[in-house]
């Protein structure tokens, strides 16, 4: 990943994912920024690098940013990416979140391995479930190549129609012919570092709501 990739999480938080930090990325940051109001920005520098001394314009972009900033780092954050994270924190522009072996040392730490973060960075909603026989508890099933993301065995597949029929059968019909449809639950971020960043930014936004 050599360019900026962006997405909006939980409807309010903008995330920039960066593979290589260079002075030329500032324009891409600006281009990827949505026009709608956002609660804050996550700069994801996990697994990011870059030649030393090539992040001045990137720092300048975030120094002008008016939204709260959280920077994600891990043990694979190197070179210009590590320097950018350090400089943003030293200037009081961002809070660093990362694993216990992250570089630079984060302000808030999370217990997650770099191998696991590879999968979470690609899909923050990923759930590691249903470990096959023979894989010890605590093993990263996806990293082992034997995991599954299937929650279906734990889900009650009873439909609304089934519930209504059961209610009629039990003599509990109240005259309503159909149950009200339920709204789907919003996706849950399972990436530990990213989830903490989103929660922090949403909390800050609630404490300091935008005016005007």
pLDDT confidence band for 135 (50 / 70 / 90): very low
Q: What percent of the chain has pLDDT over 70?
A: 71
pLDDT, tens only, 55-87: 899 999 999 988 999 999 999 999 999 999 999
Q: Full-prediction pTM beyond 0.85?
A: no
Domain with CATH 3.90.226.10 in the chain: 5-124+187-207
What pLDDT is recorded for position 36?
77
pLDDT confidence band for 156 (50 / 70 / 90): very low
- Mean pLDDT (the chain) is 79
pLDDT, tens only, 22-51: 988 899 898 888 877 789 999 999 999 999
Superfamily holding 5-124+187-207:
2-enoyl-CoA Hydratase; Chain A, domain 1 (3.90.226.10)
108-110: strand order across its sheet: 5-9, 13-17, 40-44, 69-73, 95-99, 108-110
Q: What is the three-state SS of 69-120?
A: EEEEECCCCCHHHHHHHHHHHHCCCCEEEEECCCCCCCCEEECCCHHHHHHH
């Amino acid at each position: 990943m050599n360019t900026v990739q962006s997405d909006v999480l939980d409807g309010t938080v903008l995330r920039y994912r960066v593979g290589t930090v260079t002075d030329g990325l500032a324009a891409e940051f600006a281009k990827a920024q949505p026009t709608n109001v956002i609660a804050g920005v996550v700069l994801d520098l996990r697994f990011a690098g870059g030649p030393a001394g090539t992040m001045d314009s990137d720092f300048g972009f975030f120094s002008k940013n008016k939204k709260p900033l959280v920077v994600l780092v891990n043990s694979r954050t190197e070179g210009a990416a590590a320097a950018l994270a350090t400089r943003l924190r030293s200037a009081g522009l961002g809070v660093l979140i990362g694993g216990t072996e992250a570089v630079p040392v984060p302000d808030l730490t999370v217990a997650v391995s770099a191998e696991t973060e590879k999968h979470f960075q690609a899909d923050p909603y990923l759930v590691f479930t249903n470990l096959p026989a023979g894989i010890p508890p605590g093993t990263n099933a996806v990293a082992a190549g034997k995991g599954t993301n299937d929650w279906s065995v734990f889900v009650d597949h009873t439909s609304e129609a089934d519930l209504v029929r059961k209610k009629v059968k039990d003599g509990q019909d109240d005259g309503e012919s159909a149950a009200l449809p339920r709204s789907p639950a919003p996706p849950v971020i399972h990436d530990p570092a990213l989830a903490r960043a989103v929660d922090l930014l949403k909390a800050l936004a609630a404490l300091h709501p935008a005016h005007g």
